Amino acid sequence: MTNSMNNKVFIVTRLYISASDYNSNGYYDCEVFLDKEKALQLFKKWRKEELDIRRETECTYEIYTDTEEKFHCSWDIDLEMLIIKMQEKTIISD
């Protein structure tokens, strides 16, 4: 008989996509947490940083999704895009 253990982890991912700059047309960052509140803090921090940058540069941007688990915006006539996502996953180990 095996001893199974279930653990929840929270993954926060930030993905930049550029259709105008082919040298850096994709970049992502990912962090994993055991604590949902810490994951939410990072999600909110990344979201705030992005909105601050959009406002500082005074560029026109569009927000497509803005929930507690997903933030999706674009700028420069949709040539530049950012998606931030928080997901809950269960790790099953035997």
Residue 16: pLDDT band (50, 70, 90) is very high
Residue 24: pLDDT band (50, 70, 90) is low
Q: Cβ(79)–Cβ(47) under 8 Å?
A: no
Residue 44: give the domain boundaries.
5-93
Given CA atoms 79, 70, 45, 25 in this order, what sign does their dihedral have? negative
| Entry pTM | 0.84
Structure-token match 């005074």, residue found: 58
Say how many domains are in the chain.
1
Tell me the per-residue pLDDT of 26-77, one tens digit each, with 9 for 90 and over.
Answer: 889 999 999 999 999 999 999 999 999 999 998 899 999 999 999 999 999 8
